Chains A and B, each alone.
Chain A
């Protein structure tokens, strides 16, 4: 437990702020070394560009949406600053605030519909926004914004009435950039950032964890407009002139290249990407059209590699270094007794004559059953009998055609999946859904993001509320890792684990949410006998702690050893239900599923030996191999 905490967040909390303050101070001190005006200006432009690239990284890398509209938000910031400073009040702090607000408003104009539509639509909408810049400038009277020839006459910046000299302005730019990057870093290295990583895994997982895709993306997108607005202010004051030509497609290209070179989720490496682009741009006057070719080539090659860029490289090196040290520390780490399983507030799940059809095919017909709290209910039946569909109806992925789904006394019928998840329904998937780039501990902790994650403001400012929430969530996640025997791999990348381990990680994530109901979709497949024993043990403990457990399972031996109650589905209807012993002797079930002479497959658990030792067989021996299994798996993820 000790190792995991250190590996995911340095326990020396002062180290990073200290490094940050030192670097900021050093950059501020650069002009004192007598550097030429040319280089000072290059640093200013790099700072402006880095702000823009951080905005692109937030939307493309973290929210997973291609936002081509940053030049429009940047332009909004620059023009608001120019107009306010030249015509009304010249104060850089005020202008920074107004520009950020203007950028967010302009961004939302295209972003709200674009994100609602999803996919490439945001790219289209935001790109159109950039196309509107020159037209907008021509539509607005020349005397206001100066049309396409640019805005002249921006005054030298002031702060609270005091004129900022060149050096003062330089310091302001560096401090603003440095503060923004601290905000950016805090936002993404947090449960908020991990929620965004979960989002990238696909809509299904995010919903099942109670995350609202649209709201998260819109928040991130609006947040990404802030640095663009700030950059606009700094740009307007740098040259005291705005050249509209610099706000078009060329800028988008530069930003994309910088982001790709740096890594699309990079933070500090952004500055490497910016330096690279500035170098190319600087040479581009001598390259002529060849500069465009070089940019195109970088987009192409960078897009193909689309990996982590400079940041990815750095992370790999750091991880390798850390692993070496963690291995040494593991020797010393003491593994105490696993923590106690907390009590759960389980609720009955009740299906009342639920029907569901897909394009005329009846997947479920009049299904009714109760999964009582504090009991394990198993759903069995052949492929296509509607087991996964039933789970999907309970957790809100599908809406029933008719009938009701109830959680205790609460109506779940027709609620979207993220609402159901927030009411306390957690689940796992046939194919484990593990987001990339997250440690095992973080994946497990992500089960609690929605219910227990702090809002963006405390996250960004690292308020005490944030630290308390993080400590609580880490403790809960680490606790479940210990209980499930995953403590040793807490700091490892989760997506790289073997199938069986990923199933256990998913289970830990579902449990970490502190659910009322736990839905497990074939949680045992791919587990080895030891893991199976351990799983059965944990599920019994969890049941005893009060959770309503519903398992879809093909391994009848596991069902017999585990379930308190078995519901047999056939052709979308309930064939029969009862305790496992009754089911094993039910003539129709025997004949249709368990079969006489069917080959024994799956791992047998000898908890409750079958009478006569005959009927311990997997319900559906074909499930693992034939195409039907694959088909069912795919369809359940639509």
Chain B
């Protein structure tokens, strides 16, 4: 019972962590909080539905989703970020608008009902006195592995260095000859690729409808803030913690209490650690 709930909590937590990681990608590299990320991720899942129906093998399905989401994400950058006046911090509203459009388009193309996606055949496996679906195990592993990969990308490569520099001081980076607009587009493209690779697994695990993106967006946001802005480690830990608290509170205190528990946890943690669990800097002021 408990182990099953823990697995359930970890797999929903993994989704929150994935969303938070996605936010972090654009946040650390172009200083923009891209609210539309969750919508792109869910869009990717629905692309997979059509790709599977067309009979494509799994690697091709994932490739197609990654490319579609990257294109969509770049489109978000072009439409919602590129023409934003500097320092206006309007991205919260413009990306919210872009996300709304993406989800509405998803609903128009695939219908607004929850859809089942089967990327591969699976049977529940017994593990540590609990039962868990293989797709959820994959999902749980994803933020850990991909979070690490992205962390290395941003810490160890020239691209990462330039990205962090421009998020810290855009003008100074431009003066050094870095094409910051190209950086911004690249960051959104990477976030899109990431969404496309993970979205199908999220959809397979949840059998969600397009509008679940809103819920994901919010919980990912909570995970981001709880973990600390810009910290991929924080995003992973906070995502899992939120998923677990939600799942266990629902099990032991009563169903529906999960969201209250998360709210309380969020406020408590941030009152004592305003920068989040692993954050080193304060949130930028609007």
Contacts and interface: CB of A to CB of B under 8 A. Distances in A.
What are the 3 closest A-B residue pairs judged by CB atoms, nearest first? Answer: A299-B97, A296-B100, A119-B283
Given A66-B286, A119-B285, A128-B218, A296 B98 contact: yes
B contacts with A: majority SS: helix
A120 B286 contact: yes
A113 to B, nearest CB: 5
Indicate the size class of the contact surface on chain B.
35 or more
A118 B85 contact: no
A64 interface: yes
Interface string B257-279: 10110110011001100100000
A120 B225 contact: yes
Given A135-B259, A135-B260, A292 B103 contact: yes
A106 B100 CA distance: 27
B92 A120 contact: yes
Interface stretch (B66-74, B76-84, B121-129, B143-151): B76-84
Contacts of B256: 135, 138-139
Nearest to A64: B286
B112 interface: yes
Interface of B: 33, 79-80, 83-85, 88, 90-94, 96-105, 107-108, 112, 214-215, 218, 221-222, 225, 256-257, 259-260, 262-263, 266-267, 270-271, 274, 282-286
11 contacts: A113-B271, A119-B283, A121-B283, A124-B218, A131-B259, A132-B259, A293-B104, A300-B94, A300-B101, A303-B84, A303-B94
Contacts of B88: 306
A288 to B, nearest CB: 8
A610 interface: no
Nearest to A128: B263
Contacts of A135: 256, 259-260
Contacts of A306: 85, 88, 90, 93
A603 to B, nearest CB: 29
A66 B285 contact: no
B281 to A, nearest CB: 11
A66 B88 CA distance: 13
A277 to B, nearest CB: 14
Interface in A291-306: 292-293, 295-304, 306
A307 to B, nearest CB: 9
B108 A289 contact: yes
Contacts of B90: 303-304, 306
A135 B256 CA distance: 6
A571 interface: no
Contacts of A123: 92
Interface string A108-149: 000001001111110111011101100100110000000000
B175 to A, nearest CB: 9
A119 B282 contact: yes
B219 to A, nearest CB: 9
A131 B259 CA distance: 8
B263 A132 contact: yes
A contacts with B: majority SS: helix
B104 A290 contact: yes
Contacts of A302: 93, 97
Nearest to B105: A293
User: Interface centre among A125, A127, A138, A289, by most B CB within 10 Å?
Assistant: A289
Interface string A140-165: 00000000000000000000000000
Nearest to B99: A296
Contact of B100 (A119, A131, A138, A253): A253
A121 B286 CA distance: 10
Given A120-B283, A129-B263, A298-B97, 17 more contacts: A66-B93, A118-B285, A121-B270, A123-B92, A124-B222, A124-B225, A135-B259, A249-B214, A256-B96, A289-B112, A290-B108, A292-B103, A296-B104, A300-B80, A300-B98, A303-B93, A304-B85
A297 B101 contact: yes
Contacts of A244: none
Contact of A117 (B84, B96, B100, B270): B270
A295 B100 contact: yes
B97 A296 contact: yes
A348 interface: no
Contacts of A293: 100-101, 104-105, 108
A128 B93 contact: no
A139 B254 CA distance: 10
Given A117-B270, A119-B282, A135-B259, A289 B83 contact: no
A78 interface: no
Nearest to B267: A113
A293 to B, nearest CB: 4
B273 to A, nearest CB: 10
A124 B92 CA distance: 11
Interface in A587-619: none
Contacts of B33: 120
Contacts of B96: 256, 299, 303
A302 B101 CA distance: 14
A65 interface: yes
A493 interface: no
A203 interface: yes
A297 to B, nearest CB: 6
A260 interface: yes
